Amino acid sequence: MYERNYKLLRSKFGEFFFPTLFTSMAGNICLFVDGLMVSFLIGASNLAPIQIVAPVITFVNLIYWMIGLGGSVLCSVSKAEFDDEKSNGYFSVSIISLVSIGLLITLFGLLFSGNIAHFLCMSQPELTADVSSYFVALIIGMPFLCYMMSLSYFIRADGIPALPFRAILIANIVNICFDVIYIKFFGMGLSGAALATSTGYIVGSVLISYYFLKKERTLEFIKLKVNSFFNFFKKIATSGFSSASTQLYLTLKLLVINFLVGIYVGKSGVVAFGICYNSLFILYIFLIGTAQTMSPIVSVYFKEEDYSGVNYVVKRSLKIVLASSLALSVLFIVYPQALLFLYSVKNPADVPVVLNALRIFAISYVGTAITFLYTFYSQAIQKNQLSTIISLLEGFVLPISAAFILSYAIGGNGIWISFAIAEALTILFIFGYSRYINKKTNGEYAGFFINKHNDDKVFEHTISGDVEEAVNLAHDVQDYLSGNKSAALVSLAIEEMLVNIINTNENVDTIDVIVRDNEENILISVKDTGVEFNPVVENEHLEFDNISVLNKIADKIDYSRVLGLNSTVITIKN
């Protein structure tokens, strides 16, 4: 008897994870490296202007997360529904919208750079000139950042994760090289660091555009009427806002925290908060990489009601974010001097403030990992309202409330403590909500991640690419369905489908088969990693193509190439 071994999911998760991990560096490692290079080349005190400009970056992150990531999730769902026109619509609207918005952000930023710098420096007016020079050079690269990151989401959803990894890896290398060139050799100071980041975004955008020359891509631009364009845009923004709202609340939170730190701790506090915030860039590499690997896979499997698959992916993702966050938390609590060394913090006035802030701030890492992953998970299973509530609580309401109260009560330390308190209270809210849903649905939804469980009428199987195994599995399924009048037809359909998959591939080592016995029909879901094979289209050139038998047996066959997998759903009426 065969059982599901999750080898296919484990392989697909691994295939996506490492390229996505490096892709996630685009929005994080550039600023982290900028901080290191600025500290090393022109002194740690210059971290303060970079920290003050951070809300601008998180605002841009909000835009491309909302539209790019939101559109790619809807695109994956459309592919799971076998609707290529809709998936191409989401792709077209997302990319065109983001490039246009990116250009508007740059134009607005350049026109009002002085006003924006004055606003950002309300509690530290002496830093206005430095903030302005850094901001102007950085804002030039925003259209390219929006384009590069949004396209990377769709490329991964299209099953080509290696290309974004290569493009963004090179973009980061370019950024590091030009940091040295602009700052050290051209003497451009802070503006040089920002211009190096923009240069990296431009090079990355050129390289990632190679996607449009790839033969295996399935997404393409389509023409849409104005009404259709805005309808697509509304759906994309609604879907993406729940997870992207974390960046909105982070933007507001940074503005408030920068202001409070400036009042209660002073410039040394702004430097300390800059290093604490930059330490999150290291953590977010793992969190974003994991969450954005998980999100499209969960959205497809949840849509297909494969709850066991969803559970496997979520558990794997949770282990990664917990391990990475715990390791970093312990490292910076026990040895915060590591970051002081990296950032070349030598000013006697800054050292004790930074050490104290880091030790307290690092306590919040594990909670950040859990709430961040949960926000993406909620969006992937189309619980956008829950995702938005979590983002609002964790990203703005709780930390800002705690920071105001504790800073007034105990001073600067209260600001650092507020982050850990906000994470703990958010997790308590999620736990309470999951218990409420469990009781409300009489156990249909269970666990912290409120996932369903496949019932007794769902049979899950994994086989290797072997004809004998395929035939034996078909017979076993017939035994499972003994007493059902359609059992023989289901068995024959499975055998024909699996044998054709095996014979059309030189090597396919894993095939997942899920059989769901509903009252009105039986659904057979088949996923494999082989070459593109649409059973609805008979191919006269295939030597072993007996798929005509399957088409006569089945009442309906749906096929899509999604996540780099062949996904086929066969319906046979009872």
Distance CA 220, CA 88 (A): 6
8 Å CB contact between 466 and 502 = yes
| Residues 6+ positions from 183 with CB-CB distance below 8 Å | 37, 38, 41, 42, 189, 192, 193, 196
Number of C-beta neighbours around residue 401 at 10 A:
15
8 Å CB contact between 294 and 320 = no
Residue 302's closest CA among 537, 47, 133, 73?
73
In the numeric block, the tokens 């090079």 are attached to: 203
What is the maximum alpha-carbon separation in the chain? 82
Looking at the predicted structure, is the pLDDT value of residue 206 above 90?
yes
Distance CA 102, CA 145 (A): 8
Distance CA 66, CA 74 (A): 12
Distance CA 34, CA 195 (A): 10
Distance CA 103, CA 109 (A): 10
Distance CA 136, CA 194 (A): 8
What's residue 99's pLDDT?
93
What's residue 504's pLDDT?
79
For 429, what's the count of Cα atoms within 13 Å in the CB-facing half-sphere? 20
What's residue 2's pLDDT?
53
What's residue 34's pLDDT?
66
How many percent of the chain have pLDDT more than 90? 26
pLDDT tens digit sequence for 506-536: 777 788 888 888 777 888 888 888 877 777 6
Enumerate the β-bridge partners of residue 460. 514
Residue 398's closest CA among 247, 253, 272, 259?
253
8 Å CB contact between 407 and 264 = yes
**Cα dihedral sign, 563-70-79-489:** positive
Distance CA 159, CA 150 (A): 15
Per the structure block, which two tokens stand in for 57? 């970056």
Residue 27's closest CA among 223, 250, 220?
250
At position 213, the amino acid (one-letter code) is L
Higher pLDDT, 551 or 280: 280
Distance CA 298, CA 109 (A): 37
User: What is the rounded average pLDDT of the residues 345-358?
Assistant: 87
What's residue 251's pLDDT?
87
Worst-scoring range by mean pLDDT, 24-33, 256-265, 355-364, 525-534?
Answer: 24-33
Distance CA 518, CA 121 (A): 62
Answer left, alpha or beta for residue 344, where phi above 0 means left and psi between -120 and 50 means alpha. left
Domains by residue range for the chain, with CATH: 7-440 (no CATH), 458-573 (3.30.565.10)
For 406, what's the count of Cα atoms within 13 Å in the CB-facing half-sphere? 19
pLDDT tens digit sequence for 431-485: 999 999 888 888 778 888 888 766 656 788 888 877 888 888 888 888 878 777 7
What's residue 455's pLDDT?
61
Per the structure block, which two tokens stand in for 470? 């395929």
Distance CA 30, CA 22 (A): 12
Distance CA 358, CA 330 (A): 11
Looking at the predicted structure, is the pLDDT value of residue 28 above 80?
no
8 Å CB contact between 157 and 560 = no
Distance CA 533, CA 552 (A): 18
8 Å CB contact between 529 and 310 = no
Looking at the predicted structure, is the pLDDT value of residue 323 above 90?
yes
Phi, psi of 224 (to 5 degrees): -130, 145
Judged on CB neighbours under 10 Å (0-12, 13-18, 19+), 99 is middle
Measured CA angle at 204 (ends 203, 207), to 5 deg: 90
User: What is the rounded average pLDDT of the residues 390-399?
Assistant: 88
Worst-scoring range by mean pLDDT, 21-35, 129-143, 318-332?
Answer: 21-35
Helix (H) or strand (E) holding 571: strand 565-573
What's residue 519's pLDDT?
72
User: What is the rounded average pLDDT of the residues 23-36?
Assistant: 64
8 Å CB contact between 408 and 400 = no
8 Å CB contact between 416 and 407 = no
8 Å CB contact between 243 and 186 = no
Per the structure block, which two tokens stand in for 504? 């059309």
- pTM score > 0.85 for this model? no
Residue 369's closest CA among 328, 410, 339?
328
Number of C-beta neighbours around residue 537 at 10 A:
9
Distance CA 247, CA 280 (A): 13
Higher pLDDT, 113 or 20: 113
- Return the top range by mean pLDDT from 37-46, 51-60, 145-154, 539-548: 145-154
What's residue 568's pLDDT?
83
Q: Say whether 508 sits in a helix, a strand or coil.
A: coil
pLDDT tens digit sequence for 46-102: 777 887 888 888 889 889 988 998 898 888 888 877 788 888 999 999 999 999 999
Distance CA 274, CA 137 (A): 19
pLDDT tens digit sequence for 375-389: 889 888 878 788 888
What's residue 544's pLDDT?
47
Number of C-beta neighbours around residue 455 at 10 A:
10
What's residue 318's pLDDT?
94
8 Å CB contact between 480 and 23 = no
Enumerate the β-bridge partners of residue 316. none
Helix (H) or strand (E) holding 568: strand 565-573
**C-alpha distance across the termini of the chain, in Å:** 24
Helix (H) or strand (E) holding 513: strand 511-517
At position 345, the amino acid (one-letter code) is V
User: What is the rounded average pLDDT of the residues 349-367?
Assistant: 91
Mean predicted lDDT score pLDDT of the chain: 84
8 Å CB contact between 412 and 388 = no
Cβ burial 222-232 (10 Å sphere, 16+ → b, else e)? eebeeeebeeb
